[in-house]
Amino acid sequence: MSITTPATEATAAREGYFGAFGGQYVPEALSGALTQLVDAWHDAEHDPAFASELDDLRRSYGGRPTPLYRAGRLSEEAGVEVWLKREDLAHTGSHKLNNVVGQALLTRRMGKPRVIAETGAGQHGVATATAAALFGLECTVYMGAEDCRRQRLNVVRMQLLGAEVVPVESGTRTLKDAINEAMRDWVTNVDSTHYLIGSAMGPHPFPTIVRELQKVISIEAKEQFALQAGGVPDAVIACVGGGSNAIGSFADWIAVEGVELIGIEAAGEGVGSGRSAATISEGREAVLHGSRSIALVDEDGQVRPAHSVSAGLDYPGVGPEHAHLATSGRGTYLSATDDDALLGFRRTCELEGIIPALEPAHAVGWLLRHGHDHLGDGARVILTMSGRGDKDVDEVVEVAGWDVGVAKAFGTDRSEPTDNDRSEP
């Protein structure tokens, strides 16, 4: 399947748009499956039994609600009051299960025995494999070969949960290429297979379904903040790749005046360096993976390689609702470099006893370096800790060149950290 498809050569449905962005730009072979999914989602939205089962699974299986935690020491260092929405404490270790359980229920509703998924950091793959095991579905997960290398722990987790993991060797061997292969599989097996997309991207109705299933993050956070802190925050901050955790974090705040929505993209080695994944900062309007949005494309409309230390943000596009929020001015989209992310990773560990995934570590790194200047004195912010960082520890140590050592790793070195130990990587 072509990565970018001119609208004149595709099926474009004038529904599921966010301003100028969204729609359905797909081969004819997928039109029937998308129509079936639209109908199934519409029916489920109006079915109290669906909502009841989903809510019960979220509580009893997924561990919701996740806590909202005031990060005192991180707040002192950032110069603003930081509240962490702890999606890292949900079952499977990230926000991904919110979407996956709902789509697994839809898969059962449509009578399909098999799910496929793409994954970058592996968290969506793990969540999909988990739900497939729970519902008795066959599961295949496509993952770029480079991401398999740097997220090896999650590859093993998926396999333990019964999923087939297919390393993708084409292209840059990362998330974009995994999506391409998953779409090819879907075209071939559309009658028996549901493509369980993990982010707020793709053809309609996927961006809407993912937003509505991830919206639980902001619904909970709004209630928790009012109870624990009072009022509303000055800003809600989340990392953005395709944008599932961010749109879930933003959704229930969009209509609330005075709350800035800040999405932090991965700038890799820097905006303008040629090795970045800051799509909104550097991209242009294009059709990518079935919807019109903003993507990293060259003058000829070809997709440019994206780069990030984080496998989950290493994607050359963004979901269409984020493109709309950015161009309409409702959302503020900024970026953090690899070095910012490593700083955020390390300081969250040291200050709060929380090992973050590299994805939300971008948001923490931006907040530590730029948050006070951007937000001002007395600002209160909610930052979505979208996942835990077990999967990233080996990669961080290797990339940053940190000398962990056996003594430090096992807690036998009781010496005080040196200035060099505390410096940014």
The residues that are catalytic are: 96, 118, 386
Are the C-beta atoms of residues 309 and 268 closer than 8 Å to each other?
Answer: yes
CA distances from 397 to 239, 342, 388 (A): 21, 10, 16
Other beta carbons within 10 angstroms of residue 208's beta carbon come to: 20
Measured distance CA(217)–CA(251) in Å, rounded: 9
Q: What is the CA radius of gyration of the chain?
A: 20
Measured distance CA(174)–CA(381) in Å, rounded: 32
* Beta strands at 235-240 and 291-295: parallel, antiparallel or unpaired: unpaired
Q: What is the largest CA-CA distance in the chain?
A: 66
Are the C-beta atoms of residues 23 and 208 closer than 8 Å to each other?
Answer: no
User: H or E element: which one contains 194?
Assistant: strand 193-195
Matching residue, tokens 């790194």: 365
Identify the burial level of 236 via C-beta atoms within 10 angstroms of its C-beta, where 0-12 means exposed, 13-18 middle and 19 or more buried.
buried
Q: Which amino acid is at 170?
A: S
Closest by CA to 303, choosing from 318, 288, 292, 293, is 288
Strand partners of residue 291? 288
DSSP alpha helices (H): ranges in 136-174?
145-150, 152-160
Are the C-beta atoms of residues 142 and 178 closer than 8 Å to each other?
Answer: yes
Question: How far is C-alpha 392 from the chain's CA centre?
Answer: 15
Closest by CA to 314, choosing from 187, 163, 164, 149, is 149
In sign, the C-alpha dihedral spanning 202, 277, 312, 164 is: positive
Other beta carbons within 10 angstroms of residue 14's beta carbon come to: 9
